[in-house]
Each structure stands twice: as structure tokens, then as C-alpha cells.
């Protein structure tokens, strides 16, 4: 099942991120190290501190969660990828596989919704045929827009981190 595979890989990717060789887990481990750069994270109050030699520490008000760790690794990439190239190569492979499994899980969810509703909505089959024809002809218009939204607000992958 694609959804189970996606969550299993996501957990594995998060565990792998926590194993980054340069990641320090406490301020005590940073004692005596020279700070090279402090980079704020998107979560208010959290930052990544990069030390000379490629080690780093994520600091903030709470426990470091996977989204902050992955964001920090992405922000530090240009600085520490040369020090840990194998780590980033594997993280990139996992992220790529995660995106593909997410895509397949969406497909599985859509098809499941169609199957689960086909019996109770006899007009669904004809509506699907029409929607597919519209898609193929280029005449498809998104139906979920409201007057205050623009199509560009919905484009892209909100979970994908910027490089």
C-alpha cells in the first residue's frame, strides 16, 4: 500500500536526518566551538548555529522536531554538504522517494474515494468521463476557487523546502 510505504519512508528519512554526523544535540557539546553563522529558521525563535568544521546545533524554545531539522539541514547545505556529501546524497534520495510515494498516495486516495462513492452516486461515472475529456482537451477549470483566491496560491508543493 502506497500510503503505508510513504509514512514508513518519511519516518526513516526523519531518523536519518537526526543521524547527520555534524548535528550536535546539546549546548554542552558546542562548548569551545567557534560559531561561523547563525541562521534563523521559519519557526519563530528557532535558529541553526553553524560551527567551524561543519558541526551545527538547532536551538529554540522547544524540542527540535523533524520539520525544523530538515529545514536547518537545507539551510546549511551549501556550508556543510562538502563536509558530509554521502549524508546529503542519501537524504536527497530519500526525499525524492518520499515525493514520489506522496504522489502515488494521492492517486490511491483519489481512486479510493471514487470507488467508495461510485455506488451511491450513479452520476459519478459520467462526471468523471466528462472531467477526463475536459482535461485532455485543455478545457478544465479548477472548481475549488473562491473569488478571494488565485490559482497561483495553490500551485507547487507546500511541503517542499526551498533551496
Range of the domain at 33: 21-83
pLDDT, tens digit, for every residue of 128-157? 999 899 888 887 666 655 444 444 332 333
Total of domains in the chain = 1
The pLDDT value recorded for residue 154 is 28
Does residue 59 lie within any of the structural domains?
yes
CA 31, 33, 36, 39 torsion: positive or negative?
negative
Tell me if the pTM is above 0.75: no
Order the strands of the 56-59 sheet from edge to edge: 23-24, 56-59, 47-51, 35-40
Does residue 144 lie within any of the structural domains?
no
Does residue 148 lie within any of the structural domains?
no
**Is residue 42 exposed (0-12), middle (13-18) or buried (19+ Cβ within 10 Å)?**
exposed
Does residue 44 lie within any of the structural domains?
yes
Does residue 63 lie within any of the structural domains?
yes
Does residue 65 lie within any of the structural domains?
yes
- d(C-alpha 93, C-alpha 86), whole Å: 11
Structure letter (DSSP) for residue 97 = H
C-alpha cell at 78: 551549501
The pLDDT value recorded for residue 161 is 40
pLDDT, tens digit, for every residue of 118-128? 999 999 999 99
Does residue 47 lie within any of the structural domains?
yes
pLDDT, tens digit, for every residue of 28-64? 999 999 999 999 999 888 999 999 999 999 998 878 8
- d(C-alpha 22, C-alpha 49), whole Å: 11
The predicted model gives 75-87 an average pLDDT of 97
Does residue 27 lie within any of the structural domains?
yes
- d(C-alpha 126, C-alpha 110), whole Å: 16
Amino acid at each position: 500500500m502506497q500510503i503505508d510505504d510513504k509514512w514508513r519512508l518519511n519516518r526513516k528519512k526523519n531518523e536519518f536526518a537526526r543521524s547527520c554526523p555534524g548535528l550536535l544535540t546539546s549546548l554542552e557539546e558546542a562548548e569551545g566551538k567557534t560559531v561561523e553563522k547563525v541562521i534563523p529558521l521559519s519557526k519563530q525563535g528557532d535558529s541553526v548555529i553553524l560551527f567551524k568544521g561543519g558541526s551545527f546545533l538547532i536551538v529554540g524554545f522547544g524540542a527540535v522536531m523533524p520539520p525544523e531539522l530538515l529545514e536547518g539541514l537545507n539551510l546549511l547545505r551549501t556550508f556543510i554538504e562538502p563536509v558530509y556529501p554521502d549524508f546529503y546524497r542519501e537524504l536527497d534520495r530519500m526525499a525524492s522517494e518520499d515525493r514520489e510515494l506522496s504522489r502515488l498516495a494521492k492517486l490511491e486516495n483519489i481512486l479510493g474515494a471514487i470507488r467508495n462513492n461510485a455506488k451511491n452516486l450513479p452520476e459519478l461515472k459520467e462526471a468523471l468521463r466528462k472531467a477526463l475529456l475536459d482535461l485532455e482537451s485543455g478545457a478544465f477549470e479548477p472548481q475549488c476557487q473562491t473569488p478571494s483566491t488565485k490559482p497561483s496560491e495553490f500551485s507547487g508543493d507546500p511541503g517542499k523546502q526551498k533551496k
